[in-house]
Amino acid sequence: MTAQRLEQLDLFHLPVETPEFAADPDPWLEQARARHPWLAQSVIGPVLTSYRAIDEIMRMDDALKMPGAEIVSIMGAEGTGWGDFAQDMMLVRDGADHQRLRGAVSGAFGPNNVKRMRQVMIATISALLDEWAPRGAFDFTEFAANFPVRVMFALIGGDVAKLPGIISSLEVQGSSFNMIVEDMPKIEAAYQVLWGFVDELIEERGPDGGKGDLLDDLIAANTRGELTDKELRQMLVFLFGAGYDTSKNLLTLLMDTMIEYPAIWKRCAEDKEYCRSVVREQLRLTSPSNTYRVTTRDVTWQDVTIPAGTMLLFPLGISGRDPELFDHPLTFDPGRPDRTAPLAFGRGMHICLGQFLAQANVEEATHLIAQRLTNPRHTAPASWRSFAGVWGIKSLPIAFDPAPARVPEPA
């Protein structure tokens, strides 16, 4: 069968830029799949709507690149600090350059090191719950914003006293790749705050280090000439942004889901191992990140050829809702027999570096939050971030019945 060219297809248009789509993409996805089994169109470019298409095409590292310069052009960010970052950071590098940068930090985010960090996660979320749980009601996104970045501070060796001053900038940085052009002035301002923060962090630590943490490792790589001064600072901005946004959004999405499944939430409080299945199922149903790639050559998959130079949107956050692979895909079922791996963290050479850290953060947090925030319920509708880029819930007002801290479990 001869493949059709992309431009020959009559694809359904997904309004990915609208608040309505961000809040509930499923009605549009159903129409898109009725028109074509794995492709739709959008203002950004073609959207892959099939799990298998996303899984297999994202692995074609030789045919795809991250769209750094393209996004900077769309945002009108040429000549800005953020624009420089968007074109130079690790995510948009490839080949030996990408391996060099990724190798500088990969050890710190491996499963063994993340396992050692679990006690830090437990202590961090426990302290936050002691402060927040007695309130009985709050915006859960504000609570969640304080957790994963504190764990990241512990990994880097940063002073948490400086955290309040940068959280708002981290929030803006997290949404910077949603391609909302009118946000560019505040994106640049936030980037400059973060650049100043990491620059000060490096200067305070000095070339000799002494803490034996990730920051010392990065400074040592800089001293050996393996990272330039700019790469060192950009790497830290990237790590803080990624460490803040993914876990915070995933945890907030999970709380929103759990309000609809109170029996599962109660079990999370009693069964820590069960929380792993719950987090995995959340990653399948709804996860924070959607991403882009630009084709560097013609790509043919099944019966369609996508031409070189095409910007593709990979909706990782809803890839697990594909009815071709998952029975009752909109039902939250941690015990579902199908063990198909979620695509939440991507595929290929740019698969999320911090995936083990993010999952561990949310697993530990879920168990302890379920013990302290019982009977959670909405007090107002959730508001959603833009779908393209880092998706998630912008505001989640909840009330709950506070419970006291339990005796700590054995390590």
Q: How confident is the model over 19-40, as a mean pLDDT? A: 96
Would you give the DSSP letter of residue 381? -
Does residue 101 or residue 4 have the better pLDDT?
4
pTM equals 0.91
Q: Average of pLDDT values for 20-47?
A: 96
pLDDT at 296: 96
Strands, E assignment, 319-396: 373-378, 383-384, 393-395
Using CB atoms within 10 A of its CB, is residue 37 exposed (0-12), middle (13-18) or buried (19+)?
middle
Q: What is the pLDDT of residue 148?
A: 83
Q: Where are the domains of the chain?
A: 4-389
**Rounded distance between C-alpha atoms, residue 200 and residue 220, angstroms:** 17
Average predicted confidence (pLDDT) for the chain: 90
pLDDT band per the 50, 70, 90 thresholds, residue 51: very high
The pLDDT > 70 percentage for the chain reads: 99
- The answer to whether 398 and 377 are in contact (CB under 8 A) is yes
The answer on pLDDT for 353 being more than 90 is no
Q: What percent of the chain has pLDDT over 90?
A: 60
d(CA 175, CA 190): 11
**Residue 409: which pLDDT band, with cuts at 50, 70 and 90?**
low
The CATH superfamily of 4-389 is Cytochrome P450 (1.10.630.10)
Task: pLDDT band for 1, please (50, 70, 90 cuts).
Answer: low
User: Is 70 exceeded by the pLDDT of residue 58?
Assistant: yes
State the average pLDDT over residues 98-102.
85
Query: What CA–CA distance (Å, rounded) separates 256 from 258?
Result: 6
User: Tell me, what's the pLDDT at 402?
Assistant: 97
- CA dihedral 153→156→162→168, nearest 10 degrees, is -60
Residues 356-383 have pLDDT tens digits of 888 999 999 999 999 999 999 999 999 9
253, pLDDT greater than 90: yes
Give the pLDDT mean for 251-262: 98
What's residue 100's pLDDT? 86
The pLDDT confidence band at residue 80, using thresholds 50, 70 and 90, is very high
Give the mean pLDDT of 295-308. 96
| 43-47, 196-200, 271-275, 328-332: least confidently modelled range | 196-200
In whole angstroms, give the CA distance from residue 371 to residue 266: 8
For the segment 85-95, the average pLDDT, to the nearest whole number, is 86
Q: Residue 116 pLDDT more than 80?
A: yes
Q: Residue for token digits 């959008």?
A: 42
**pLDDT bucket at 411, cuts 50 / 70 / 90:** low
As a whole number, mean pLDDT of residues 333-343 equals 89
**Does 353 or 99 have the greater pLDDT score?**
99
Is 206 a residue whose pLDDT tops 90? Answer: no
pLDDT of residue 381: 96
Dihedral over alpha carbons 152, 153, 157, 159 (to 10 degrees): 180
How many residues would you count in the chain?
A: 411
Overall average pLDDT of the 115-140 stretch:
94
Res 144 pLDDT > 70: yes
Mean pLDDT over 5-20 rounds to: 96
